[in-house]
Every structure is written in C-alpha cells, then in structure tokens.
Amino acid sequence: MKTALITGAARGIGAATAKALAAKGTRVAVVGLEPERLAALTDELGPGHLWHPVDVTEPEALRTVVDATVAAFGRLDVVIANAGIVNYGTVRTTDPVDFARTIDVNVNGVFNTVRAALPSIIASRGHVLTIASLASFAPAPGMAAYAASKAGVDAMTCSLRNEVAHLGVTVGSAHFGWIDTDMVRDADAELPSFRRLRSRLPWPANSTTDVAECARAVVRGIERRSRRVYVPGSVAVAYWVRSLITSRFGDLATRRVMGGFIDAYEAESARLGRAIGNHADKAEHS
C-alpha cells in the first residue's frame, strides 16, 4: 500500500488531495497548523491515516513528523510540499516582515519538507511533488512576494530533479492558476480592485478551478510521476510562452490590462491596515 505525507493539509488543496489519495487506497499523513481541522480530516479519511501539527519553517519538527510517519506506515512513497501562504501587496507597500514570512514559508518550508522526507523517499524510490504556481513564470503586479517565492520553488525543484534521478526518485512541480480556496475568496472579498483585475485578465489567467478538480489533477500527476502538473491544463500555455510574458511586449500588454489597478490596490490595502493573505493559520495553496 502506498503512503504519502502532505503539508498544508488542514484545508484547501492539501485537504482535497488527501481525500483523493485516500479514496485510491493511499495511507496519508496530513500535516499543518490547525490541529482541530487536521483531526477532523483524518476522521473523515477513515482508519489508517495520521495527522501531525507542525510549522514547515521548523526543520527539526518536520524531521520528527517524517520519522513518526515512517514508524507508523513502515515507509514513505510520496511527499507533497503544499504548505504555502500568499501576500497581496506591491513592493512599494509590502511590510518587509510580511515579505520575509512569505519567502520563509513558501521557499524554506518546501526545502525543509523535502529535505526531511528525502531519506525515506530515496529508500522507497518514491516521488516528490512541490507546489509552485502559474506565478512561477507569469509574475503578476501586486504579488511580488508570492511570485518570487514560487519562482524559487520552481528553480529548486528543477535542481532537485537532477540531483536525485540516479537514486530512482522522481520529482515534479504543480503549477496552479486561481483555485477556489479561502485565500482567493478572502482576497476577492477584501480587495475589490483585485477581484476586478482577475475578471479582466486574459485566458487562462481569468479562470477559477474547483479544488476537487485540482486535487484530481495532482493525484494523476503523482500516479504518472509527472515532471509538471498544470491546473487548469491551459496553464501549460503560459509556461511555453513565459519568455513572451516577461518581454517588453508582455509588459505593455500587462499595463494595458492593469489600467488604474495599482493605485486602487494600494489604497485598499492601506485602508485595511494589515497584510492581505499572509495568514499562518491558513497555510494552504491558492
């Protein structure tokens, strides 16, 4: 029987993926920052599954969780480094502490998760899946911290893939557009300018995918040991034209779509008086 460990599994994509894997007979260890949610999810998954509260920015705690999971399951076949947060804000207005927290969770947290799990994944000749984003290669104004972190995850994953291939380990990254999670819904509710912008973006960046559909795509990617998982599949188009997206032509197109977005976005953020989206108690993926 296959086994998997998923970080950021208390809600959103992590929880949906745990359900999809469990439905296929995989024993799952769900990890996150919300014990009550994790316990409820494990009850829903049924007997034979585990949950552990842990902060992915704490390497020693993650190693303890991996050891406990392997002790209970006997092996670890898949690790999904899903825990992540988002910071909605411009470089000019984002608090340095919030920027650093986004990088810490999204980049260091993935590194800590993968490094803790690698000995067990190598032993099982298993699979590593990191959760990157459409933002890895299509960075949007107003999401500099998130885009920087996801570009970092993508680059780290590419390095890792070739570091462990000779050990029989496969490595993939998942790149999501807008997924119907708390983080996206919260931003839509709190930042009207953000909601309007999303509706004006060109396809596929203007679409929102159901979280269950996203989880099914992730599970297919794991089963196939895919190098990249795109959700929706049209995100692959952005990957192949990424040089165009960040070219001078891409800049001009972006500015045309943006209109007066940045001024309104910064003003709304200032009125709220706090970071948007960067909530440690909602570590999941959008």
Residues serving a catalytic function are: 146
Q: What does the alpha-carbon distance between residue 66 and residue 54 come to, in Å, rounded to a whole number?
A: 11
Q: How far is C-alpha 264 from the chain's CA centre?
A: 27
Q: How far apart are the first and last CA of the chain?
A: 30
The two three-digit tokens of residue 263, written as one number:
């001024």
Spell out the residues 6+ positions from residue 190 whose beta carbon is closer than 8 angstroms to its own.
Answer: 268, 272, 276
